Amino acid sequence: MKNIDFLKVLRNIDNNPNKSQRELAEGSGFSLGKFNYILNSLKKKGLIKFNNFKKNPKKMNYIYYLTPKGFTQKTKLTLRYLERMSKEYEQLRKELNKVKKK
C-alpha cells in the first residue's frame, strides 16, 4: 500500500467521521474493497478506531475516528507529501528554465 493511499483515507476519515464506509471510499477515490483493506490496515496499526452506534436499529452505521497516533501519522505523511511535491515543482521549474534559455 502506498503512503498516499493511507494519507487519503486518514484525511477523509478526519474530515468526515460520520460518513458510511461506501461514502468514505468514494470520497477517497477507491473501490469499497480497497478502502476496506486500507481501513483494516490502519486499524491494525492503531491509527484509527471505529465503533457502531449501539442504539441504532440499522446497526450498520459506524463512526470512524483517528487515534492520537493516527493524527501524528497523518501529519507526518502530509509533510512528506508536501516535501516531495515541492522538490518535484523545483525540478520542473529548473527544466522549464533550461528550455526557455534555448
Q: What is the pTM of this model?
A: 0.75
Distance CA 51, CA 53 (A): 7
On whether the CB atoms of residues 10 and 48 are closer than 8 A, the answer is yes
On whether the CB atoms of residues 15 and 40 are closer than 8 A, the answer is no
Distance CA 10, CA 17 (A): 10
On whether the CB atoms of residues 17 and 65 are closer than 8 A, the answer is yes
pLDDT value of residue 31:
95
Domains and CATH numbers, the chain: 3-101 (1.10.10.10)
Name the percent of the chain lying above pLDDT 90.
67
pLDDT value of residue 30:
94
What are the tens digits of pLDDT across the range 15-62? Answer: 988 888 899 999 999 999 999 999 999 999 999 998 776 665 655 677
Distance CA 67, CA 55 (A): 23
Distance CA 101, CA 94 (A): 11
State the residue for C-alpha cell 497523518: 74
